[in-house]
Each structure stands twice: as C-alpha cells, then as structure tokens.
Structure 1
Amino acid sequence: MANASAKLIQSLIGSNKVAVFSKSYCPYCKLAKNVLNQAGASGKAVIELDERDDGHLIQNELTVLTGESTVPQVFINKEFVGGGTEVEKLHETGKLQKLLSNL
C-alpha cells in the first residue's frame, strides 16, 4: 500500500493537467511557474513544499518517482517534463505549447 505522500502525488498528477511541486523561495520554481503562466497553462496545481508540514516527505517520494531530488518538478499530462530550465527550453522550442494544447 502506498504511503500518504505517494497517494497525494499520484492524485495531484492524475487529476490536474499540470502539476508543479515547488518551493516558494526557489528561483527555478518561480521560473517554471512564470513560463507556464506565460504559456497559458490552465488547470494547474502548484504545491509549495516549504509551506507544508509533510513537504519533505512529498519531496522524498518525488525523488523515488522521478530520480530527481530538486524542485521544481513539473508534470504535464501525467508525464514528468523536468524542472525550471527544462520547462523554459520546452517553451523556447514551442514544445510546451504543443504539450499544453493536448490538454
């Protein structure tokens, strides 16, 4: 049976077109959120891990799920697409808009 953090992650990824696991003070997280906003990403869930008592547990589960230990971790259409610089590159190449248009 999956733990509460894993269930929360799967629920957020599964029920939102875009899910962003972030920390409020992180510059790469701000970059990812700004790029997604510029690209018109609607229906997105943003989870600020530093504002939650269980944030460290969620981040540990994300590391198991994606192999990445840093934030942000961005999921589009239930797929992990990377962090801030990856989202920015997707936007610059036009691939982000294609991913978002498939929502």
Structure 2
Amino acid sequence: MNINDVIQQQVSSHPVVLYMKGSPQFPQCGFSSGAVQILKACGVAEVFAVNVLADPEIRQGIKEFSNWPTIPQLYVNGEFVGGSDIMREMYESGELQQMLKDAGAAG
C-alpha cells in the first residue's frame, strides 16, 4: 500500500480526521492546538488524529494528497476542509459546526 492509499483509507474510515503535530492530548504546535480546541468547541467527541511528526512519510504525503502545504489539516467525511485558519474562519461563521453536525460528528 502506498502512502496515498494509507491516507485515503484513514480519511474515508473516520468521520473526522485531523492530521496534526502531536496528539489532541499533547499538541506540539500552536496551530495544531488551536485546531483541537476548535473541534472541542464544536462538540466533536471523537477525532481520529494522525501525528505527522511520528511518520515523515505521512507528513510529506498528506501535503501532496490535499495539495495543501501546511499542517494541521482537517478532513470531514473524507473531504478536505482546510488548515487552522480556514477552520477558525468556518468556526466563527458557524459553518464548521453545521458541517460537523451534518456529518454526525458533533452534537
């Protein structure tokens, strides 16, 4: 299985996937920490988090997979949503909460 297949399998088998530096319990950069806080504020109970620092192949592969240069990256129901800035804007407008609710990932 190549790295694209691995990533495709991850994003398609979980409603909410966050590629981040560190883990939700111990984020290792401010942007990843912010992304976790936003998801918590939206009421997301379960996030499938992938620590890109633990796997250099995923760290590079996810950037090519999404054609997005930065980490963190959020996927909802298999679709790329964006990075921390986009997450923050969508959260402030209420769009992210609705998307997560529609995905059955937030109450």
TM-score normalised to the size of structure 1?
Answer: 0.87
Separation (CA, whole Å) in 1 of partners of 2:30 and 2:9: 26
Deviation string 1:12-45 (CA, Å, 9 cap, x unpaired) is 1011111000002111111011100110113320
Instruction: Trace 1:1-103 onto structure 2 (pairs within 5 A).
Output: 2-3=1-2, 5-24=3-22, 25-50=28-53, 52=54, 55-103=55-103
Report the secondary structure of 1:91's partner residue.
helix
Normalising by structure 2, what TM-score?
A: 0.84
The Cα shift of 1:63 comes to: 1.7
Give the root-mean-square deviation of aligned CA atoms.
Answer: 1.3
Q: Cα deviation per residue 1:24-72 (whole Å; 9 max; x = unaligned)?
A: 211111101110011011332011111x2xx211122112211112100
| Structure 1: unaligned runs, 5 residues or longer | none
Give the Cα separation in 2 of the matches to 1:69 and 1:94.
25
Consecutive unaligned residues in structure 2, runs of 5 or more: 23-27
Q: Name the stretch that deviates more: 25-34 or 55-64.
A: 55-64
Identity between Structure 1 and Structure 2 (%) = 26
